């Protein structure tokens, strides 16, 4: 079974969304972890828009990357440039992947406009996760 870590700055939105989709698509073929360079708590809007797509991340916690430094990861996926630049070294056969997704937590506008940004980012991450699993896990 593979171990995969998704890493972003605060482990509140993008990494949590990716964690949810990677676990959904990989099923029992991988154990998915998510962490941040900092821990900001799981964003309620991320929980809400994932629930709209049938994925429950309400039980996720926001964790620091240091908590997982001793896990032998097959892949570390950074989902923002900050995390990519500050990602610690993971020994062994760990492969790194990077994709910079827009931070939906920085969206401005009406509540509906902000939610729409969250949905757009969610949909981009869903497709990335679907492709990643098909390419590297299935």
Q: What is the per-residue pLDDT across 108-134, written as a single tens digit (0 to 9) for each? A: 999 999 999 999 999 999 999 999 999
Neighbouring CB atoms inside 10 A of 32's CB total 21
Query: Is residue 80 flagged as an active site residue?
Result: yes
Query: Is residue 87 flagged as an active site residue?
Result: yes
Per residue in 62-109, pLDDT (tens digit) is 999 999 988 999 999 999 999 999 998 888 889 999 999 999 999 999
Q: Rounded CA gap, 19 and 100, in Å?
A: 15
Domain count across the chain: 1
Choosing from 47, 65, 80, 105, the catalytic residue is 80
Q: Sign of torsion, CA 8 87 80 109?
A: positive
88 lies in which domain range? 2-136
Q: Give the distance between the most distant pair of CA atoms in the chain.
A: 46
CATH number, domain of 9, equals 3.40.50.2300
Choosing from 31, 39, 69, 87, the catalytic residue is 87
Give me the pLDDT at residue 17, please: 98
Give me the pLDDT at residue 92, please: 83
Prediction pTM value: 0.95
DSSP assignments along 100-122, one per residue: ----GGG--SSHHHHHHHHHHHH
Summarize the confidence of residues 5-32 as an average pLDDT.
Answer: 97
Choosing from 4, 8, 105, 133, the catalytic residue is 8
């Amino acid at each position: 079974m593979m171990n995969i870590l998704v890493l972003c700055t605060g482990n509140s939105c993008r990494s949590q969304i990716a964690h949810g989709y990677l676990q959904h698509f990989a099923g029992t073929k991988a154990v998915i972890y998510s962490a941040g360079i900092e821990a900001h708590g799981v964003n309620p809007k991320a929980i809400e828009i994932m629930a709209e797509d049938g994925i429950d991340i309400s039980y996720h916690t926001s964790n620091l990357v240091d908590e997982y430094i001793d896990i032998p990861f097959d892949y570390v996926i950074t989902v923002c440039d900050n995390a990519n630049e500050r990602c610690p070294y993971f020994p062994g056969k760990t492969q790194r992947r990077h994709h910079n997704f827009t931070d939906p937590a920085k969206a401005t506008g009406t509540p509906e406009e902000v939610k729409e940004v969250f949905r757009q980012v969610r949909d981009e991450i869903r497709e990335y996760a679907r492709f990643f699993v098909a390419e590297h896990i299935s």
